[in-house]
Amino acid sequence: MFSEKNIVLIISGGIAAYKAAIFARLLIKENAHVKVVMTKSATEFITPKTMAVLTNEHVLTDLFIDETDATIDHIALADWADYMFVVPATANIIAKIANGIADDAASTVLAARHTPLIIAPAMNENMYLQKTVQRNLQQIMADGDIVIQPDDGFLAEGYAGKGRLPEPTDILAYGELALRQQVGVLKGKHVVISAGGTVEPIDPVRYISNRSSGKMGYALAQAAVEQGAQVTLVSATTTLPDPIGVKTIHIQSAQDLSDQMIAALPEADVMIMAAAVSDYRMGEPATNKLKKQESGQLTLTLVENPDILAQLGAMKEQQYLVGFAAETQNLLTYAQKKLVKKNADMLIANDVSKDQVGFGYDTNQVTILTKNHEPQVLPLQSKLAVAREVMQKISKAIN
């Protein structure tokens, strides 16, 4: 999102200012163009020279340092910027933003802004919780700017509390998410997504599962929350970090997944079954570890798991239902039958026998089927890119 964008990074005077250097590097790695403005207090914690070397740009600290320059620096920077970040944002700079005070280089640039602003507060917990600070933050958000909540953690004062600056990677992720949400087409919609391969116990040690990594479902959750949706992710994997801005419910078995999806159905606008559900489970899982048999053979008695997509298809009313079909042959034939049989509104099919497609990969190539329309084949691309295209099509269908 920030590639080839012009970003003004404003650093105010707190101990967390050192993280601004890391944040600037992250933006540059995203191919952003970064220019830095520092308050006088910020220069006590990190030098302008450091930021100039990192960004290969002049660092603005004083509007009047060069009396011969005809450029009006704060206006030029504000006009140049696509986005502005304040990292870290102290109580002082927060008060200035909220009340329109422009008495130094940083606050004057902020007063001249006409592009999105993201601020990341960082201060002692007692300062952060002050009514005046909270009132100023509420005013900033009411004005349409984005505030990234501070973390709980170890503070400079030597004790734990709320007010710690989030890690630079998190600031970048939260900032991108919030910016995308501002123009999202799924605001006010509740999207429920399942992900991962379900786990069916054989005994306390062994289980039945499949090769699903959950990456496609997690990408769909990210794409949905980017579009402003309220997102619930019912996940059968613990190997992926919970997506930012998403309510994640962890489950294991197909029955657990069925229970959660059915419970979520009445309040959902969109249901997406991206999980790879084990078709069978043990009729009676062993309570103790099974031992090797003298015959050299072991017989397991399996029973069929619930068909969750079919369950949802039979129960849905106004909900838009999306299913997945991972096949190794006759892709469109099986997928078309599944679309109709399960009463889904959209079916996303992929041939998992192909290289770079399906389970475990970061890429995917899918065909989207909907009722009364020709199948649409998407190119091989990242799973997040696939997810964003899918969510765009869903949003058009339900809005």
| Catalytic (active-site) positions | 210
Residue 306 marked as a ligand binder: yes
Answer yes or no: are the C-beta atoms of 330 and 322 closer than 8 Å. no
Whose CA is closest to 126, among 149, 146, 98, 155? Answer: 155
Residue 308 marked as a ligand binder: yes
Residue 324 marked as a ligand binder: yes
Identify the three-state secondary structure at position 82: coil
* Alpha-carbon span 312 to 319, nearest angstrom: 9
Answer yes or no: are the C-beta atoms of 304 and 255 closer than 8 Å. no
Residue 383 marked as a ligand binder: no
Whose CA is closest to 270, among 354, 188, 215, 199? Answer: 188
Residue 289 marked as a ligand binder: yes
Residue 307 marked as a ligand binder: yes
Q: Token pair for residue 369? A: 């089927």
* Alpha-carbon span 380 to 364, nearest angstrom: 6
Residue 103 marked as a ligand binder: no
The full length of the chain comes to 399
Residues 335-365 as b or e (16 or more Cβ within 10 Å = b): bbebbeebbbbbbbbbbbeeeebbbebebbb
| DSSP assignment string, 340-375 | HHTT-SEEEEEETTSTTSSTT-SEE--EEEETTS--
360 backbone φψ class: left, alpha, beta (φ>0; ψ -120 to 50): left
* Residue ranges at the known binding site for CTP: 279, 289, 306-309, 324, 338, 342
Residue ranges at the known binding site: 279, 289, 306-309, 324, 338, 342
